[in-house]
Structure formats: structure tokens, C-alpha cells
Structure 1
Amino acid sequence: MGNMESQDAGLWARSLAGDGAAFGALFDRHRDRVFRHAYRLCGNRHTSEDILATAFLELWKKRRKVVLVEHSILPWLLVTTTNVARNTNRASTRYRRMLDSLPRQDEAQIDSGEATYFQSVLDQDVVDALKTLGSIDLHLISLVVFEEYSVNAAAELLNLSPAAAKSRMHRARSKIKDVLQPKPAPPSQFVMEGNGS
């Protein structure tokens, strides 16, 4: 992995100098992981493709402010992807509420456009659990749990102390576990009938 990261740093330096092929190589190298991360957060293929494109656009627009972590551009891309996904999810929720408030003429005419899912990739319960996390905690979980960066590397990117990052990780994991716990079934109501005596 060290060799790939050093190659990342070299490609990024060339990109900053105006080398479009180097930026294209970075895109080719990281697009699949960024896409998987976007899909993990939103659960929709087409939306994930839009988030992927936006994340790389942001990478170019903010290139002078980008911070490499362990010589890799990927952590910055993952954090940006998380931010874009959260904004996209909020916009989608607002749009869905607006559609739901409209008078309905014929249910068959309404198509939400959300029918295509990669069902085998991620369970919707996990997507919903991730949506309960705050921004910083979602970034930490994304970097440490899903992408296997060290807590210290994630803390550096997010301007946290390692101790604060560890504490946040513990709370975020607990929150996700709580959300994913199966809800206990309501107690059944037994009606005891007398034996007539």
C-alpha cells in the first residue's frame, strides 16, 4: 500500500502542476472505492454515480486546500464524498416530502426513480444506521471501519486529537449497534379463561 500512496502523492503533485493525465490516473485509481463509499451512504446506484462525479469535481475545485493523509488523496475524497452524500440525502428528503404533499391523480403514474438498487451490496438497515451519525462521526466510521485507516490518520484529517477520535469512534460504534439491534417483539397478550368453576 505504501507504494500506491507514494504514487498518489506524485500524481497529485503533477495534477497541481496542470497534468490532466495525472488527475485522470487518480480518478481511475480511486473511483471504485469512492463509488462504493457513496453507495454505502445512499443505497442508490445512479445517485452514487452523481456523488462520485461531484466528489472529484470538488477535488479539482479545492485542489489548493486538499490535505493528503499518509501520502494518499483517498481520505480527503472519502470525507468529501460523505459530505456530498449527506447533502444529497437531505435534498432528496426535501424533494420526496414535496412530492408526497402533491395531490395524487393516479398512483401508477408516479415513479420515484429509486427502483434500481444493488441489493447484494449493502443492507438498507446499515444505510439508515449510518444516517443517524453526525458528520464527524460518520467521517470517522467511514475512514477507520470501512476504509481501514488508522484512528490517528483519520484524526489528523478531521482536526481531532487521537483521544477525541477514539472516544467518538466508541460512541459512534455503540450508536450504530443500538440502531441495528432487532427491536423486541411487543409482549403478547394472553387472555386466561377460567375453567368455569
Structure 2
Amino acid sequence: MSEKNDETEIWERARADSGEAFAELFRRHREAVFRRALALVDRTQDAEDALAVAFFELWRKRRSVLLVDGTVLPWLLVTVANTARNQRRGGMRYRRLLAAMPRSDARDAEHEAVQAIETEVLGIRLREVLATLDPKDAALLTLTALDGLTVADAAPLVGLKAGAARTRLMRARRRLQQDLGSNPSHIPWFLSEGERA
């Protein structure tokens, strides 16, 4: 073994918490450790991750790691190989899990996303428009459409007779329909269906 390859002095400084010495070891062995990792994984990113883990473990275990023939390279190569194999096994498990999961068609997913956004926007607009109604009209609409009461049951709760409540509810629905737009898909079901008696 040549003195050039002897890392005993650098390793002793690294073990004594010298970041500079550890950086020197990284510079010396990065390429060899990376090549070993790359031979065992599918993606460059995975090899870089394995490289980082190997050097992190070297730093973490620096008090117990022993040099082989005056260098830490053998320890690093074994560690990166184990790390890369574990990553590969983990990646295979992950890919099998993904393959087993039910998939929705991309168009279906896009359609669902658009519908969710439209529903959220409609909810905001509906709250804004409801806030502009007379409080009794808004209460009537809520009681009949959301709480499921008949107009006759809801009327006395807001201080109206059934006939007056029916007229006010019809006007409130018409106003909401106008304010929300004429596209039928943008009109909530409770604004387009007839009143419950």
C-alpha cells in the first residue's frame, strides 16, 4: 500500500470531528462509491441518495469504523451496496403497491378536479347571493331546500302564512337563478325543482 492511499491521519482527524478531514474523505471516495451504487439501482437519483446515506453513516459511526488497508473505502463500498439493495427492494415494493392500486382514467381524474373546483366556486357564489336576500327569504330557502321542510312547515318558523311563504320562496329562487347564471349545470338542484307543498 502506498503512503498516498494511507488515510490513517485523515481518518483520525475525521474521528475527532474535523469536518475538513471528512470532506477530504468524501472528495477521495465519492466517485467510487457512486459508481458502486449506480451499478445496483435503476436511477441516478437513487444512486445519489445511497451515496449520501453511506457517507452519513460513516460520519455517524465514525467512532467505531475501522480502516481496511489504511482506507475507509471498503467500508463505504459495503455500506453503499447494502443501502442501494435496500432502496431497490423498497422501490420494488412501492411499484408493486402502485400497480395493485385501482387507477382512475386521467380524464376522469381531470373531470373530478374540474367538478370539485366548480362546486367550490358555486358554493362561494351561493353564500354571497344568499347574503343579499331578505333574512326571511334566506331562512325559507334554507329550511325547505337544505333541512327538507315543506313550505307549510317552514312558514310559521319565519313568521309567515303558507301562501305568502310560497310566493316569497318562488321569488327568492328566481333571484338566485338569475344571480348564479343561466347554465343549468351551475344551478343547484334546490333552485330548479318545484316547491314542496
The 2-side partners of 1:59 and 1:34 are apart by 12
Alpha-carbon offset, residue 4 of structure 1: 2.9
**Structure 1 107/19 Cα, relative in aligned 2: closer, same or farther at 3 Å?**
same
Q: Equivalent residue for 1:89?
A: 88
RMSD over aligned Cα atoms: 1.6
Q: Between Structure 1 and Structure 2, which shows a larger proportion of helix residues?
A: 2
CA offset digits 1:42-87 (Å, max 9, x no partner) = 1320000000000000001111221211001100000001110111
**Runs of 4+ in structure 1 displaced over 3 angstroms?**
none
Larger RCO: 1 or 2 (CA < 8 Å, sep 6+): 1
Structure 2 residue identity aligned to 1:33: A
| 8 Å contact kept, 1:69–1:75 | yes
Q: Equivalent residue for 1:40?
A: 39
Identity %: 49
The 1-side partners of 2:106 and 2:33 are apart by 35
**Structure 1 46/107 Cα, relative in aligned 2: closer, same or farther at 3 Å?**
farther
**Structure 1 107/69 Cα, relative in aligned 2: closer, same or farther at 3 Å?**
farther
1:2 aligns with 2:6: no
Structure 1 residue identity aligned to 2:104: Q
Structure 1 residue identity aligned to 2:2: G
The 1-side partners of 2:36 and 2:76 are apart by 10
1:70 aligns with 2:69: yes
Structure 2 residue identity aligned to 1:5: N
Greater C-alpha radius of gyration = 2
| 8 Å contact kept, 1:34–1:77 | yes
The 2-side partners of 1:107 and 1:41 are apart by 33
The 1-side partners of 2:66 and 2:5 are apart by 13
1:17 aligns with 2:16: yes
Secondary structure of the structure 2 residue equivalent to 1:63: coil
Alpha-carbon offset, residue 19 of structure 1: 1.1
Q: Equivalent residue for 1:27?
A: 26
Unaligned runs of 5+ in 2: 108-197
Q: Give the alignment of 1:84-123 within 5 angstroms.
A: 84-106=83-105
Q: Equivalent residue for 2:162?
A: none
CA offset digits 1:117-146 (Å, max 9, x no partner) = xxxxxxxxxxxxxxxxxxxxxxxxxxxxxx
The 2-side partners of 1:63 and 1:18 are apart by 9
**Structure 1 15/95 Cα, relative in aligned 2: closer, same or farther at 3 Å?**
same
Structure 2 residue identity aligned to 1:56: F
Structure 1 residue identity aligned to 2:23: G
Alpha-carbon offset, residue 24 of structure 1: 0.4
Secondary structure of the structure 1 residue equivalent to 2:63: helix
The 1-side partners of 2:3 and 2:103 are apart by 57
Alpha-carbon offset, residue 107 of structure 1: 7.2
The 1-side partners of 2:44 and 2:51 are apart by 10
Q: Give the alignment of 1:117-196 within 5 angstroms.
A: none
